Amino acid sequence: MSLLKRIGGTPAPAESGASAIRPGAQHFEGNKVASSARERDDHAFADIRSRVQNKLIGELDPKLDLANAAKVRQQVEDIFNTILDSENIVLTRTERARMFESIAADILGFGPLEVLLNDTEISEIMVNGPRSIYIERKGKLQKSDVIFNNDEHVMRVIDRIISPLGRRCDESSPMVDARLPDGSRVNAVIRPISLVGPCLSIRKFKKEGITVEDMIRFGSLSREMAEFLSACVRGRLNVVVSGGTGSGKTTTLNALSSFIPEDERIITVENAAELQLRQDHVVTLESRPPNVEGKGEISIRDLVINCLRMRPERIVVGECRGGEALEMLQAMNTGHDGSMTTLHANTPRDAIARIETMVLMAGMDLPVRAIREQIASAINVIVQQARLKDGSRKIINITEVQGMEGDVVVLQDVFLFEQTGLDERGKIIGQLRPTGIRPKFVELFEAQNIYLPPNIFGYAGERSFF
């Protein structure tokens, strides 16, 4: 018996004269009637669920200790079962389990998003209003069948995310950045600036982290590239990881940080703490947005300036977006070798131009040539990351910053990705290869006993001691 019949509903009768309709049309009408009945069942289920949830919330102890998730879940389940019995609501075992999980997710978790957050294959979740949710799975975007009930349902989840952080999202402050307890990065925008209703973007945090070996296995870089980058980090070169949104910059930065020796003091500066450095001596600094009165902001630039007073041996800035680029360059030029950061740019040449722009955002009236000289002397290597059309993420350039010629910063590719075609599944085929150019900075490795294979740059010869 359907849910609709059990709660007293009656499906609409079939239209008269159906037998006179040709078979194809009759089949269509039958599907339409069945679909309509299913929709009524879904509405009935939603109504019961809403009624039970409201009653359950009213009976829950407001002082419930949400830290003990297992105990709270059991209490919620006990009250849920009591309500069904007292209201004489008859559900099948499947319907009962489905309703409880849905209510528990709303009360104890993040509602309909719980199932997506628990799916390890999903890397990003994009909520475009209550009825349109997209996910990124294995590098490809696809629409999810998960939905919210309405705008208010989405707002409850947003409030659940940001309330523990002391932040708010309303008409006077319709944008907010936040972080889930597991470290996943969240951005929310609501009406009036979002015309489709409340929107959420969640970039999921991988608890185990992706290692360099994982990246080699995925085809993101070659083993030779990994050996070279390891030498660059251990040799205290300053590295910038450049790439577009979602290209994997933070993942690459995190993987490169694993090459930093254990005995060095590392200070990380981020908007939202995502880096997972495994070393013991790590200090993590996180920026803070202004409060509701517009006061109390601590920017990335403030933190970079402050960390220079904390005796860092390495400074790792999660992402340069503005005037902090000037402080980062000055740090790299004043003894803080081995520093690393990321920025948004599509090519190594674009990365140089982007850094120029960000330095000008610091409000200092510096000539462009002086800025370029700072860049050329501070940065040694640009690692260019990209998300390709087939959804894969690769390091497509490792580029040396060689210095200045006239007013131009000179760049030279050391490794690059060369696309050769597509396979039958639409996957990009290509090779990650050295260019045959030996970087000028390899002499810096000599005093540090860093060895590299003789053919790592694409030419044969005696074993090189760098």
HEC string for the chain: CCHHHHCCCCCCCCCCCHHHCCHHHHHHHHHHHHHHHHHHHHHHHHHHHHHHHHHHHHHCCCCCCCCCHHHHHHHHHHHHHHHHHHCCCCCCHHHHHHHHHHHHHHHHCCHHHHHHHCCCCEEEEEEECCCCEEEEECCEEEECCCCCCCHHHHHHHHHHHHHHHCCCCECCECEEEEECCCCCEEEEECCCCCCCCCEEEEECCCCCCCCHHHHHHHCCCCHHHHHHHHHHHHCCCCEEEEECCCCCHHHHHHHHHCCCCCCCCEEEEECCCCCCCCCCCEEEEECECCCCCCCCCECHHHHHHHHCCCCCCEEEECCCCCCHHHHHHHHHHCCCCCCEEEEECCCHHHHHHHHHHHHHCCCCCCCHHHHHHHHHHHCCEEEEEEECCCCCEEEEEEEEEEEEECCEEEEEEEEEEEEEEECCCCCEEEEEEECCCCCHHHHHHHHHCCEECCCCCCCCCCCEEC
The whole-number pLDDT of residue 423 equals 85
> Is the model's pLDDT at 19 over the cut of 50?
no
Question: Residue written as tokens 């007073």?
Answer: 309
Percentage of the chain exceeding pLDDT 90 = 52
State residue 68's pLDDT score.
Answer: 67
The yes/no answer on whether domain 212-465 falls in CATH 3.40.50.2300 is no
Q: Which amino acid is at 34?
A: A
Q: Of 34-48, 84-98, 183-197, 410-424, which gets the smallest average pLDDT?
A: 34-48
Distance CA 246, CA 319 (A): 13
Res 160 pLDDT > 70: yes
The predicted pLDDT at position 322 comes to 93
Average pLDDT of the chain to the nearest whole number? 85
Q: What is the mean pLDDT of residues 391-417?
A: 96
Lookup: tokens for 184: 């996943």
43-71 tens-digit pLDDT: 787 788 888 888 887 777 665 666 666 77
Residue 287 CB contacts under 8 Å (≥ 6 apart), including other chains: 269, 270, 271, 298, 299, 300, 302, 303
Q: What is the pLDDT of residues 196-235, one digit of tens each?
A: 999 999 998 877 778 999 999 999 999 999 999 999 999 9
Which residue in this structure is represented by tokens 């009945």?
37
Residues 428-453 have a mean pLDDT of: 88
Residue 82 tokens, joined: 């009591």
| pLDDT recorded at residue 432 | 93
Which one-letter amino acid corresponds to residue 218?
A: F
- Around Cβ 142, how many Cβ atoms within 10 Å? 10
Kindly indicate the confidence band of residue 461, based on its pLDDT and cuts at 50, 70 and 90: very low
Residues 101 and 73 sit within 8 Å (Cβ to Cβ) = no
Question: What would the mean pLDDT of 92-103 be, rounded to a whole number?
Answer: 86
Dihedral class, residue 147 (left if φ above 0, else alpha if ψ from -120 to 50, else beta)? beta
- Calpha distance 333→336 (Å, rounded): 7
Q: What is the pLDDT of residue 293?
A: 74
Q: For the chain, give every residue range classified as CATH 3.30.450.370.
A: 111-205
The pLDDT confidence band at residue 182, using thresholds 50, 70 and 90, is: confident
- Residue 66: per-residue pLDDT: 60
Range in 72-86, 143-157, 363-377 with the lowest mean pLDDT = 72-86
Round to whole Å and give the CA distance between 370 and 53.
64
Average pLDDT over residues 422-446: 88
Q: Which of 107-111, 151-155, 182-186 has the highest mean pLDDT?
A: 151-155
Q: Distance (Å, rounded) from C-alpha 295 to C-alpha 289? A: 9
Query: Residue 328 pLDDT more than 70?
Result: yes
Q: Which residue has the higher pLDDT, 444 or 378?
A: 378
Mean local confidence (pLDDT), 72-98 = 86
pLDDT of residue 61: 67
Q: Which pLDDT value is given to residue 40?
A: 55
- Return the pLDDT at 50: 81
Most confident region among 52-66, 138-152, 376-390 by mean pLDDT:
376-390
The band of 117, judged by pLDDT with boundaries at 50, 70 and 90, is very high
User: Which pTM value belongs to this model?
Assistant: 0.74
Which amino acid, one-letter code, is at 410? V
Residue 449, pLDDT above cutoff 90: no
CB 123 within 8 A of CB 134: no
Q: Where in the chain is the domain with CATH 3.40.50.300?
A: 212-465
pLDDT greater than 60 at residue 36 = no
Give the residue, 465 or 152, on which the prediction is more confident: 152
Backbone dihedral region for residue 177 (phi beyond 0: left; psi -120 to 50: alpha; all else: beta):
beta
pLDDT score of 3 more than 60: no
Mean pLDDT of all residues in 125-153: 92
Distances (CA, A) of 385 to 179, 220, 414, 463: 24, 9, 14, 30
111-205 has which fold?
Beta-Lactamase (3.30.450)
* 340-344 and 239-243 beta bridge pairing: parallel
Q: Tell me what pLDDT residue 18 has.
A: 36
40-44, 147-151, 358-362 — most confident range: 358-362
Q: What share of the chain in percent tops pLDDT 70?
A: 87
